[in-house]
Amino acid sequence: MSNKIMQFALQFDDTETFIAETGHKRTVIVEGPMGWGKSSLLPALGKRPEFANHTRVYIDCTTKTDSGDFFMIKYSADGETFRTVPHEELGLHLDGPVILMFDEIGKMPRSAFNSVLRVLYERKGPGNSKLHDDSIIFSTTNLAVEGLGDLLLPHGRNRVTVVTMRNPDQHRWLGWSISAGVHPLVQSWAKDTPELFTSFTDFASAEECATRTQGMIYDPRAVNKPVAFVTGRSMEGASDIFHCRDAALAAGRAFSDKILHAGLVGTVGPAAAGNLMAYISMLNDLPSKDEIANDPLNARIPVNGTAVCMLVYRVLATIERAWAPQWMTYMRRLDTVAQGLFGNGTRVKGYPRLNAIVHCKEYQEWATINAHLFK
């Protein structure tokens, strides 16, 4: 069953492309594992140049209870008749095109779902209200097999096109994490823990999934399911905790390992939290930024390969133009894999610190000599 579910599953970029190219003709429902970026499709589509004049419209279907959340009755002046008018949240009153997203549509009660079927199918509301012809409509929902209550009834399912979006692979997520400012510790841990990016659908049984992933991901088949577990969303939550911990320690406030561990348990679950805390303990030999900036030829080189990876991600997240030349001098002392990791990180779309490194003469010279490292 699992293989059939994911046989035609798309990665995020392909899902975005499909919606962009067909969403003006067909309403697309994107089903996929929870916590792996389905809701990010709306801002991603909004950034595409062809949709520069589209208004983004977001509807959280989990907050809707019945048809009254979308359409209401308006009486005539004499009170003898009435007509139905749409809530402005739908965007039917706008003159220009919209990108309309129904988030978590599978969790919407039947009354509310039925009330928007005409919008989904015909791009029209009651009376003469209709969306601009260039409008894009799509929605998201979780996989039915996740057991989260998501349901698409046949009469609604037949009106739309459903595509499945799978978890991002490790390399795609790491590329995104650089531009999103995910904490270097989480980035490095994710790079060294590829099982975080698997899905329970990849495994024939709950036992196999638990063994292969150390119980760190969600599996609806498991007898004792943890309340918290690893998804892209919860890893971003762990990143927030690490950033807050850094800020507290920098300000001289206490933030013990016990506090950190407890926060991680409540964010990524006990199995992943224990794994991550053990991972952190290996990273004590990292040189500081000042060590590298003041003496790049003699600053410590981490012995542990994992620590080297962590160092590279930390520099990608913090590098400044003032010490970029010293970093390039230091980096030449690292192995080729680490240098390639840094170089490819600077070329990730939307990398926020590009201006700190791209004008550095030492970087330009290194990039020319090591063009073979870029992929």
Q: What is the 3-state secondary structure (H, E, C) of 253-297?
A: CCCCHHHHHHHHHHHHCHHHHHHHHHHHCCCCCCCCHHHHHHCCC
In the chain, the amino acid numbered 6 is: M
- Mean pLDDT is lowest, of 202-216, 278-292, 325-339, for 278-292
Which domain-ending residue is among 164, 193, 221? 164
- For residues 145 and 192, state if they share a domain: no
Mean pLDDT of the chain: 88
The answer for residues whose C-beta is within 8 angstroms of residue 368's C-beta and 6 or more apart is: none
Determine whether 127 is exposed, middle or buried from the number of CB atoms within 10 Å of its CB (0-12, 13-18, 19+).
exposed
- For residues 190 and 309, state if they share a domain: yes
Report the distance separating Cα 272 and Cα 265, nearest Å: 8
pLDDT value, residue 87: 75
Report the distance separating Cα 25 and Cα 367, nearest Å: 45
Residue 374 confidence (pLDDT) above 80? no
Q: Dump pLDDT digits (tens) for 246-258.
A: 999 999 999 999 9
**pLDDT, greater one: 289 or 240:** 240
Residue 165 confidence (pLDDT) above 80? yes
Average pLDDT of 226-237? 93
Task: State which residues form the domain around 62.
Answer: 2-164
- For residues 238 and 356, state if they share a domain: yes
Q: Dump pLDDT digits (tens) for 272-290.
A: 999 999 888 877 678 888 8
- For residues 191 and 327, state if they share a domain: yes
Confidence class for position 43, pLDDT limits 50, 70, 90: very high
DSSP state letter for 360: -
Report the distance separating Cα 164 and Cα 162, nearest Å: 7
Which domain-ending residue is among 98, 132, 164? 164
- For residues 213 and 283, state if they share a domain: yes
Look at the chain and report how many structural domains it folds into: 2
- For residues 300 and 152, state if they share a domain: no
Confidence class for position 124, pLDDT limits 50, 70, 90: confident
The answer for residues whose C-beta is within 8 angstroms of residue 325's C-beta and 6 or more apart is: 360, 361, 362
The answer for residues whose C-beta is within 8 angstroms of residue 341's C-beta and 6 or more apart is: 309, 312
Residue 42 phi, psi dihedral angles, 5° rounding: -65, -55
pLDDT value, residue 3: 56
**pLDDT, greater one: 39 or 310:** 39
Please state the separation of Cα 309 from the chain's center in Å.
Answer: 22
Say which residue the tokens 């749409």 belong to: 86
pLDDT value, residue 1: 41
Query: How big is the chain by its Cα radius of gyration, in Å?
Result: 25
Strand partners, 56: 99
Average pLDDT of 330-340? 94
Say which residue the tokens 């799978």 belong to: 166
pLDDT value, residue 56: 94
Confidence class for position 4, pLDDT limits 50, 70, 90: low
- For residues 307 and 283, state if they share a domain: yes
- Mean pLDDT is lowest, of 147-151, 271-275, 349-353, for 147-151
- For residues 118 and 225, state if they share a domain: no
Report the distance separating Cα 317 and Cα 306, nearest Å: 17
- Helix, strand, coil percentages, rounded to 5, for the chain: 50, 10, 35
Question: How many percent of the chain have pLDDT more than 70?
Answer: 96
Which of 116-123's residues contact partners 24+ apart within 8 Å by CB, and which partners? Answer: 116/70, 116/90, 117/155, 117/156, 117/159, 119/90, 119/92, 120/27, 120/156, 120/159, 120/160, 121/27, 121/159, 121/160
Residue 80 phi, psi dihedral angles, 5° rounding: -85, -25
Confidence class for position 130, pLDDT limits 50, 70, 90: confident
Residue 99 confidence (pLDDT) above 60? yes
Residue 17 confidence (pLDDT) above 90? yes
- Mean pLDDT is lowest, of 38-47, 87-96, 98-107, 115-124, for 87-96
Confidence class for position 150, pLDDT limits 50, 70, 90: low
CATH code at position 109: 3.40.50.300
Report the distance separating Cα 211 and Cα 150, nearest Å: 28
- For residues 66 and 98, state if they share a domain: yes
Average pLDDT of 312-327? 92
- For residues 157 and 174, state if they share a domain: no
Which domain-ending residue is among 164, 198, 217? 164
Report the distance separating Cα 64 and Cα 106, nearest Å: 12
pLDDT value, residue 375: 63
Q: Coil, strand or helix: which one is 197?
A: helix
- For residues 208 and 157, state if they share a domain: no
H helices present in 164-231, as ranges: 170-180, 184-192, 206-213
Q: How many CA atoms lie within 13 A of 130 on its CB side?
A: 9
Q: Dump pLDDT digits (tens) for 70-80.
A: 887 777 777 77
- For residues 130 and 218, state if they share a domain: no
